[in-house]
Structure formats: C-alpha cells, structure tokens
Chain A
Amino acid sequence: MNGARQTLTDRIIRAAVPLIFLAVLLVFGAMEPGYLSAGNLTNIVKQAAFIGIAAVGMVFVLLTAGIDLSVGSVMYLAPLLAGFFMRETGLGVFPGLLVAILAGMAMGAINGFFIVRLKIIPFIVTLSTLFFFRGAGTFMTSSRQFDFSRDMLDFGLTSLAGIPLPIIVLAIVAAAAHVVLTRTTFGRQVYAVGADAEAARKAGINVGSVRFRVYVISSACAALAGFVLISQIGRLDQAFGEGREFDVIAAAVLGGASLFGGIGTVWSAIVGATLIQAVKTGLVFSGINLYLQPMLQGLVIFVAVLLDTLRSGRLAERMRRTIRAAGEPGPGRK
C-alpha cells in the first residue's frame, strides 16, 4: 500500500519542472496572448542562452558536488581581455573569441589549482576569485566602460537561417557538452566522482584531474557566455555579470542538477535557464512592479531547491538496505 503512493509522489517530483514550465506558459499566455507568440518565445530562448551557456559549464561542477561562484566575474574579465587583445592586435572577432575562451580556461585552472592542489573548499576559492577577477578587470579599465569595435556587434547580430547567434552558440555548446558527458570516459568519470569520490579513487579514476577539468570547463563556458552577450550590446561596463553566478547555479539546479553531486544533465541547464527567463519575461509582460520581480524569481528557485532536496532524500532512502526483500516471504509466515 505504501509502495504505490511513494511512486506517485516520486513521479510528481520528477515531473515537477515540466509541469511548472507548462503552468508558467499557460498563466502568462492567458494574461497576455502575445507572450506565446513565436517571436516572443524565440526571444525568451535567445535571452536564456546567456545564462544557459554558463549553466552548461556549471552542471559539470555541480556533478562533482562542487560549486563555482566565480562565473559572474569570469564573464566580465575574459571578454575584457579578449577586447584588449583585439584592440591591440587589430585582429578580428574570431581570434578574440578564442582568446576569451583561453582566458576563461586559465581562470578555471586557477580555481582548480587551489581546489585540487591546495585542498581549499570550492566555496571559498571561487568566492575569492569572484572578487579577484572582477578587481583585475576594473584595474585594467580603471572602472570605465570598455567599447568594442563595430565588428563585435556585427558578429553578435548575425543569424543563421533566421536563428540568432546566441541560440546557435547555446546549441553547439550544449551538443558538445552532452557528447562529452555521455559519450566520453571523462564524462562518465565526472558522474562517478560526484556519486562517490572515494569509490572513484579506488576504481583508479584520477579524481583530482577530473575536478580540475570541471572548473576549467565551467570558466570556459562562462567566458563564452560573456563574450556572446557582449557581442549583442557591443560594450562592457564594470558591473557586467555581477551577481550572475546565482542565476547560473539556480538555472542548473532548477533544471534538475543536484547540489549534492552526481545528478544532472546538459538538459537541466537549458531547461532551467529557459524557465527562469520565461518567468522573467512573463513578469515584464504582466507589468508587475519591477522591484517585485526578483521576489517571484527567488520563490521559483526556492521551489526548485525544495524539489531537489526531496528528490535526494528519497534517493537516499531507497539506497538504504531493505532487510525483508519484497515478495520474499519471511521465515515466520507460511
């Protein structure tokens, strides 16, 4: 009798995010039919791409039960370095993009070094680099806005078969990350480390190397995300990316990645980022007081975390040994 009810609760918990998504679309659609227009829906995905790209990287980190608070600053500093590089060398946007990604990877390597080699917890390391990277950026710009050349904007506003650039980049990143996570040895090791780091070590997996690489990937994705968004606006002011780490983490967790490690897919990042953007856009459409909007977003995140907690709790319960296997009659009964 208990079994059937549990599976139903399980099912509801598992289907909760799609259900919330559906509800969000229906509610805002009912309030304002324009919300459901193809143009607006494309716009939602386009705006979600920024957080989505970074959230894909964050999923790698969360899978190993880590956290990366520095992504907001990486989003700022990496494209800035690329901007200086483009200005100094006169090279185009693509070399610039490459520089941004390499700079991101270097920042990830710094995080990884402190976490893996010096064994400081990810929270403190990435909290420190959050300030450090942003400080480095404002040092270079003297707190002024940085203007990119016209090429940057041209690049940002290109579209392929009517699909805007951010969506294309998101699709490429997501596809690549999906392949890495599901079809490479490294990807499966990320899951193994997140499920049980000690067992992973015993199984001969180089846990330190896996951890190091996820921070490099996270920062590379954040750098790319920053570069893509800047290409939409053509300039970089010193508050760019500030506080975005929370959006990125929230997106990944909302989509189903667990803060406790081992659970999550590339899909979680995309679904989460899109859902958050759908709510944001919807709130703008509905004309709710601007200052109230973060409150509603906060509540959506709260629900997501609550679901994650319930899900993990249930998983733990199921992993506990059962003594009297179902269907096997005990010794005392006929």
Chain B
Amino acid sequence: MSAILEIDRIEKSFFGIHALKPVTFNVERGAVIGLIGENGAGKSTLMNIIGGVVSPSGGSMRFKGEPYSPRSAADAARAGIAFIHQELNLFGNLSVGENIFVDGYPKRYGLIDRAAITRRTREILGILSLDISPGTPVGTLSPGERQLVEIAKALHLDAELVIFDEPTTSLTPRETARLFEAIDLLRSQGKTIIYISHILADVARLSDTILVLRDGTLVATRQADRISIPDMISLMIGRNLEALFPSRLSVPGEEIVFRIRGISKAGILENVSLEVRRGEILGLFGLMGSGRTELARMIFGLDRVSRGEIEVDGQPIDLSSSVRSRIRSGLAFVTENRRSEGLFMEAPIADNVSIVSLGRYASGPLKLLDEERVSEVASRICQDLRIKAADADRQPVKSLSGGNQQKVVIGKWLLSSPKLLILDEPTRGVDVGAKYEIYSLVDRVAAEGNGILFISSEIEELMGMCDRIAVMSQGEITATFAKPFTDEAILKAAFREQAA
C-alpha cells in the first residue's frame, strides 16, 4: 500500500503554547485510522490542520504524493479531503440536494440545474440507502439523517480521505449502526478514513490502525487488533489512574440531600430517579446525547419537566419554579458550556464570582452594594481556589486559562452555599494539572456535607472520583454501580440498547 497522506513534523502553537508538538506519520491509502486522545491532546488541532481550518506553525504535508498546504476548508475539499465536523456544516433552510452541492452547483443556461441536482442526489442517497427526497429541507431531518447527508457530501466530492470528528455524539444507536454501515461502504470503495472518537469500543471496531495523541505528541501507533481498550486508556492518560485523582476526604453520610423521582419529558427523559447523600459524589455517565445534560437542565429549572418530583434537603421543589428559587433552595449548576453559559467573558472576575450571591453584599431597600465586600470576597475566592489572576476586580475572565475559568465558575457557586452541586463535564478543555485541582475542589465541597452530581463522558474521572455511578442511555437510567467499578460494566450499561 502507498501513503495517501504524509504528515511531516506538523506543529501548531497558540499564544506561544504548543497545542501540537511536531507530529510525523503516514496514512496508507484505503486504511481506517482511529485517532484517540484526551480533550486537549491535540486531536482537533491536527485534524483542523489537515482539513484546512487552521494553518500549522511548522512542518509540511503531502497528499497523494503532492505537497499539500490548504489555506481554507474549501481548499481541502478541492484536494479531496472531506471533514465531517462534530457540529455539522449543514444549512437547515436548504434542501438535501442543495446542501450536497453547496460548494458548486451544476448549471444550465447559467442557472442552477435543479434536475441535475435531484438526479445526482438521488443516486448518492441510493448508495447510502437513505430513503429521503432530495428536495427535503435539511432542517426537518433527524440528527442521524443529517450525519448521512454529510457523508453524501463527501461521496459527491469524491473525497479520497474522509475525516470523522466524534460523529456519533448526537445519534441514536440505530442511527449509529447506520453510520457504521456507511463507513464500511466508504471503506469498500477504497476511501481512506480518519475516525476520531471518545468511544473507544467504536474506534477499536472500525479501525485498522490506532494513533494515540497525548499532550500534543503522538505517543503510539498500533494495529487495532493488537491493543486493548485499557491499553488505549493508559496510553491516552500516560500514567496510573490513581495518581490523577486526589485521595477523597469526603465520606458519604446517611442523610439524603437530593432526590428526584420519576422525572419524565416526552421524547427526552423517561422515569429518571436518583438520590444523592450528604458528602456523596454521584457520577452520572452516559454517551453524548443520552440525556445527561437535559436532566441537569430540568433539575435546575431551565427546561420544563412533564412529570416527576424533585427534593432538596427533604423540601420538595415546585416543578414550575424559577431558576432563582431553585438556587435559593440549594441547587448549583456548572454547565458544560463554560463560555456561553457559565461566564461573562468580558467582565472581571469579581463580577463573575459575585453574580449569584449579590444579594448578600447589599443592604437597604435599594439593595446598595458593598463594593468593598464584593472585592474582598472575590480576592478571597481567588486565593482559596488558587485562581491565577493579577487583579480580581479588573481582570476580565477571558484572559484566564481554561482551568482558571472553570474555577471561577465553581467559585461563584461556592459563594451561594449550595446543598447540591451539579457539574456537567467540569474538566472539558482543562489541562491535566488543573483537572487535579478541580477534583480536589469538588471533593472539598462534598466534604463540607454537600451532595455532588458529577456528569461526565470520561469514564476514568468518574471511576476515580465518585462513590457511585449511575449510567444513562436513551434518556433512562440503565444501571447504578457502587465501588469497585469496572469500566466494562459501565460501558455495557451505556450501550445497553445496542447490545440487545
């Protein structure tokens, strides 16, 4: 076999920090390459370079034997590389056919030849055995169908290399199975595929060769049948699991601090029940799209619930009550989108950490703020959580690193003295050192007698930090595990339907 893509000492730095240290490897024509690594290991940076989204700081690439240096995603597409992003690049208001041809429409008499689009689209959809009309607006398709439309785009471009970045995150198991069939089809046509995923079982199943990235370095290239999933994990993490997590200070008590019963919402959640004790860290594992985040949003009052009961410290919470009143009852929520939902990026640290508990620093009917106290509290939080900042009153949050930003988010909730802290992917995009600090912080909150609901798609951190782990799949709790955990059992529960 010959190499279709040769990567030679490609590297990338942002703001003087290496996101990707010089990486060299070849991709053989017709191979399926699995690319794995932790968040921030450099997978996306590498793929964005190959896909023309980002330019490398150094190194060179050859594609099909020719020097290859794309300036844009469109360049990459022209060269024959299709990049299917986690967030799909489709336009809901255009039809399936128009989306497939968006880079260049067939013309007749100077106008778009719709008949040709329809004809060709039907052919491509036929190959994928996707039974939808070429004229259907993409906005009306299911997530799985949209994913297949992206593949149809790759087929139309006659791309020789197709990159998939976490393609199954929002798919149902049935849709995932369909996607894998389509990937097999591409493989049988002799296309080369790079498949990125956190779901190691999928990677193992699909790939010929597995590349492991860690901290911007390519640490291993293995044949897929010669590496086990635990091996993959230890290669990704690069050290013992124990060393990654602080030893727990908190001990779960007897008293139940938080309980939900029978939470349901048509099409999203079905009969979800959970309990968290004082001092307990309850893990909630599930693949993306299993309903974890939706559950957290409903508990917090951001989305409506059809049925069910929520109790904090024995006090029932009205299902129609506002976020504000739920915060007062003792709920706190660190969301998965730190930038868009957690922080005011332009505002100083002090404004960010004080926003939830402002009422405490105010007096009088006008609620005049005691600025000094706000500033005091902010610098205390900075010190306490070891947020590396020069001036809490003036420095905007966006100048902080990801880990420090996340500490600001946690800090604002600590000030509201919560009884249950919900964390949704709290370590996403945070480097290893800061992860450890965040884990210690979570442990400390639990040790003060509060409950923690720790949502994550990283099975290792849940196993390292939690007292119990509940597993969600398809909007239901499929199992709850107590120590000692085995990742196999947890994954099995997460994939429950697919196994059946």
Contacts and interface: CB of A to CB of B under 8 A. Distances in A.
Interface of A: 2, 179, 182-185, 188, 191-192, 194-196, 199-200, 202-205, 262-263, 315, 318-319, 321-326, 328, 330-332
Nearest to A179: B111
A330 B139 contact: no
Contacts of A323: 172, 267-269, 289-291, 294, 474-475
A195 B270 contact: no
Contact of B267 (A182, A319, A326): A326
A164 B163 CA distance: 58
B270 A194 contact: no
A331 B500 contact: yes
A204 B77 contact: yes
B105 A185 contact: yes
B480 interface: no
B478 interface: yes
Given A203-B103, A328-B172, A322 B267 contact: yes
Contact of A324 (B104, B112, B270, B500): B270
22 contacts: A182-B112, A183-B112, A195-B93, A196-B92, A203-B73, A315-B92, A318-B139, A319-B92, A321-B143, A321-B289, A322-B268, A323-B267, A323-B268, A323-B289, A323-B291, A323-B474, A323-B475, A325-B142, A331-B473, A331-B478, A331-B497, A331-B500
Contacts of B104: 185
Given A195-B94, A331-B497, A203 B267 contact: no
B89 A199 contact: yes
Given A323-B474, A331-B496, A331-B497, A188 B291 contact: no
Contacts of B105: 185, 188
A32 B500 CA distance: 70
A2 B266 CA distance: 9
A195 B476 contact: no
Given A323-B289, A323-B475, A324-B291, 15 more contacts: A179-B111, A185-B112, A191-B94, A192-B94, A192-B102, A195-B94, A202-B89, A203-B89, A204-B73, A318-B140, A321-B143, A323-B290, A324-B268, A325-B172, A332-B270
Interface in B108-152: 111-112, 114, 139-140, 142-143
A182 B105 CA distance: 12
A195 B94 CA distance: 9
Interface residues of B, number: 47
B108 to A, nearest CB: 10
Contacts of A332: 270-271, 476, 478
Contact of B174 (A205, A318, A325): A325
B45 to A, nearest CB: 16
B91 interface: yes
B432 interface: no
B72 interface: yes
Interface of B: 53, 72-74, 77, 85, 88-94, 98, 102-105, 111-112, 114, 139-140, 142-143, 170, 172, 174-175, 266-271, 289-291, 294, 473-476, 478, 496-497, 500
Contacts of A195: 91-94
Contacts of A263: 93
Contacts of B89: 196, 199, 202-203
Contacts of B289: 321, 323
Contacts of A204: 72-74, 77, 103
B92 to A, nearest CB: 6
A256 to B, nearest CB: 12
A188 B94 contact: yes
A56 B27 CA distance: 51
Contacts of A184: 111-112
Contact of B93 (A182, A191, A324): A191
A331 B91 CA distance: 32
Nearest to B295: A323
Nearest to A205: B102
B74 A203 contact: yes
A68 to B, nearest CB: 20
B475 A324 contact: yes
Nearest to A2: B266
Question: 7 closest Cβ contacts across the A-B interface?
Answer: A204-B74, A183-B111, A195-B91, A199-B89, A331-B497, A323-B475, A192-B91
Contacts of A205: 102
A192 B102 CA distance: 9
Contact of B474 (A183, A196, A199, A330): A330
A281 B203 CA distance: 68
A205 B271 CA distance: 45
A199 B289 CA distance: 22
A191 B478 CA distance: 43
A2 B289 CA distance: 22
A182 B114 CA distance: 10
A326 B73 CA distance: 35
A195 to B, nearest CB: 4
Nearest to B268: A323
Given A204-B72, A323-B291, A325-B174, A330 B475 contact: yes
